[in-house]
Amino acid sequence: AVVSTQSTGVSSGAREEVLVSGFNVSLTRGDLQTLLENRWLNDEIVNFYLNMIMERGKTISPKRYIFNSFFYPRLLRDGHSGVKNWTNKVDLFNFDKILVPIHLQSEKHWCLAVIDISTKFIYYYDSLLGENRNINILIDYLEEECQVRNKVFGTSKVWTSKMMKDIPRQTNSSDCGVFVCKFADYISLNKALDFNQNSMQYFRRQMICQIMRKSLIL
């Protein structure tokens, strides 16, 4: 069961106090308070939650890999050479899907790209149904990564990107980060995206409890 935010100690107290640590990150009360009603999630919360999803994935199949939110802006700025070392210990092509959280800084908006290695599709999930004209930079990245790592695909099919339209939509300006976390959660389990805007307040409380316990199982 999901408990109240009061009982977790998130609602009141010093904002700088560290409440939970994991994945080489320490989350303060101020970080966790971004999960309170109608607040924008920050990078620390999104990355911590996505790390929990990836940790869960180590025990289930198919395999997923999730970049943190700093990957995409670095790729945009510096190209493949700027992020080449990010995969020194990871073979992306051993995974079925690769998830890339995207924080559009100018719009203060979170989206998610899902790379399907087997079909060579990149699916773009935006809860406001927006377009991302830069999404194909991920195709350039994957093609260069393939060359650098001397990988050969079993298919000659070209990479294709698709903006997903039949997905849950947000109706406010503050829940995009929660949508992205739950898109990633559900997609990593191959679950139907059967939630909506009305689910967001429950998800916020649920995520606080999951993060405090460092477990997606409550």
Active site residues: 109, 126, 176
SS3 206: helix
Rg (CA), the chain: 17
Query: Torsions phi, psi of 120, nearest 5?
Result: 60, 40
Q: Are 114 and 97 in contact (CB under 8 A)?
A: yes
Q: Are the C-beta atoms of 2 and 202 separated by less than 8 Å?
A: yes
3-state helix, strand, coil in the chain (%, to 5): 40, 15, 45
Alpha-carbon gap, residue 12 to 72, rounded angstroms: 34
Token digits for 76? 């945009």
Q: Which residues are within 8 A (CB) of 161 and not within 5 positions of it... i.e. 6 or more apart?
A: 121, 122, 123, 124, 135, 136, 138, 139
Helix axes 176-188, 43-57, angle to 10 degrees: 10
